[in-house]
């Protein structure tokens, strides 16, 4: 039996390997625009939605909707936004029994602008004051009982949770969007490192002593405001951008990243699929063609959740990446990071007939 959207996990799902996520969660206020306007420009709102968001948070929702056993540790304020965040997790069947509610603090909320022509996005973040999960927030026995741990940063809470999981024989995965030096201490603890082409490109730039670019600099700034990194950790930025790698260059980056400690490294390249370096060999997995791209928000997050669920269910590495690609493609049919997440039945039906594309 597969968990359907909006229903709690069945006892069958709860008996499967538990996948634990740790990170920030927010509410996304999404606006689908005719286009994202330039300064002093104007656009028409074609649609709007409100959904939960956050990288690891959305990955856990994907796992639950696909029938998996997902739990999530986060910190929210005791405001209405925090209540909405936790309520949506419960509605989707994600265990948030160990989430921390900080009295008198506010929760994270983001406005997402979506370009109706291309699906491209811009983000306006209000980070709130609740802060991140800290090492003392974690109950060791609860963390160690999970088979997998999924992270999106290498802050103190994440490092503590990774050690607990590794000590118990579990597997740790990191979702990397942009490279930051603060992630380095976590890399040897990872079984899976699944990153964007931007992370891989910025990592390669850092390895050669070049500037990382504005996006990495901005990302580093958000870590500082969340007390996940110090100012001295900020990458240099001289007005230029890191060269964005593509194709087999990304496979080279995956191999280099694997040398930092992770057992398996996957670099995603959007519609061109993904590149994997692993103990069993290096390979490319083409992407599925999305049936209709409305919004790409959350596609990468959903990819991570589907990949971990497939591995937890015993699927071999290549098959897990194909499954994750299909789930991510289907997500893009709807506005927001979560509305389009498919069920297991929808995904398997799509995979049976959907075309593939990508650079082989």
The band of 139, judged by pLDDT with boundaries at 50, 70 and 90, is: very high
CA distance 128 to 79: 10
Mean of pLDDT values over 121-149 = 95
**Cα–Cα nearest to 64, from 111, 96, 110:** 96
The reported pTM is: 0.90
Residue 1: inside a domain? no
pLDDT for residue 7 is more than 50: no
**Per-residue tokens: 2:** 């597969």
Residue 3: inside a domain? no
Residue 36: inside a domain? yes
Q: Which of 12-26, 27-41, 69-83, 131-145 has the lowest mean pLDDT?
A: 12-26
The band of 2, judged by pLDDT with boundaries at 50, 70 and 90, is: very low
Residue 4: inside a domain? no
Residue 285: inside a domain? yes
CA distance 336 to 315: 28
pLDDT of residue 237: 54
Contacts of 322 (CB under 8 A, 6+ apart): 285, 288, 351
**Cα–Cα nearest to 233, from 245, 253, 219:** 219
> Which tens digit of pLDDT belongs to each residue from 234-281?
555 555 667 899 999 999 999 999 999 999 999 999 999 999 999 999
- Domain hosting 73: range is 11-357
Number of domains the chain is built from: 1
CATH number at residue 20: 3.40.1190.20
Yes or no: say if 215 and 198 are a contact pair by the CB < 8 Å rule: yes
Instruction: Looking at the chain, list the stretches that DSSP marks H as alpha helix, in order from N- to C-terminal side.
Output: 11-14, 55-65, 80-92, 140-144, 156-167, 197-207, 214-225, 248-258, 299-312, 317-331, 344-353
Yes or no: say if 262 and 191 are a contact pair by the CB < 8 Å rule: yes
Residue 190: inside a domain? yes
Residue 204: inside a domain? yes
pLDDT for residue 319 is more than 50: yes
pLDDT of residue 252: 97
The band of 232, judged by pLDDT with boundaries at 50, 70 and 90, is: low
Residue 145: inside a domain? yes
């Amino acid at each position: 039996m597969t968990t359907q959207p909006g229903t709690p996990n069945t006892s069958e799902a709860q008996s499967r390997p538990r996948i634990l996520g740790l990170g920030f969660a927010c509410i996304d206020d999404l606006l689908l625009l005719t286009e994202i306007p330039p300064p002093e420009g104007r656009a028409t709102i074609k649609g709007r939605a409100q959904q939960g968001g956050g990288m690891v948070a959305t990955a856990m929702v994907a796992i639950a909707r696909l029938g998996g056993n997902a739990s999530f540790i986060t910190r929210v304020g005791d405001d209405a936004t925090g209540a909405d965040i936790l309520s949506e997790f419960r509605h989707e069947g994600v265990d948030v029994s160990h989430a921390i509610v900080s009295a008198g603090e506010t929760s994270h909320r983001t406005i997402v602008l979506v370009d109706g022509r291309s699906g491209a996005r811009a983000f306006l973040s209000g980070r709130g004051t609740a802060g991140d999960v800290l090492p003392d927030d974690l109950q060791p026995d609860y963390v160690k009982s999970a088979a997998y741990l999924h992270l999106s940063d290498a802050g103190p809470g994440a490092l503590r949770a990774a050690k607990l999981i590794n000590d118990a024989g579990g597997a740790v995965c990191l979702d990397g969007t942009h490279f930051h030096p603060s992630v380095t201490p976590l890399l040897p603890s990872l079984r899976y490192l699944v990153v964007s082409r931007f992370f891989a490109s910025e990592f390669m730039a850092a390895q050669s002593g070049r500037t990382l670019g504005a996006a990495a600099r901005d990302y580093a700034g958000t870590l500082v405001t969340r007390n996940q990194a110090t100012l001295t950790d900020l990458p240099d930025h001289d007005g230029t951008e890191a060269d964005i790698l593509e194709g087999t260059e990304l496979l080279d980056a995956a191999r280099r990243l694997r040398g930092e400690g992770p057992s398996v490294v996957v670099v995603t390249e959007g519609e061109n699929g993904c590149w994997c370096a692993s103990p069993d060999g290096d390979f490319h997995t083409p992407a599925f063609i999305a049936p209709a791209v409305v919004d790409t928000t959350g596609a990468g997050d959903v990819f991570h959740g589907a990949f971990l669920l497939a591995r937890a269910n015993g699927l071999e590495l290549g098959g897990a990446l194909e499954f994750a690609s299909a789930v991510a493609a289907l997500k893009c049919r709807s506005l927001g990071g979560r509305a389009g997440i498919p069920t297991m039945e929808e995904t398997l039906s799509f995979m049976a007939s959907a075309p593939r594309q990508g650079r082989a």
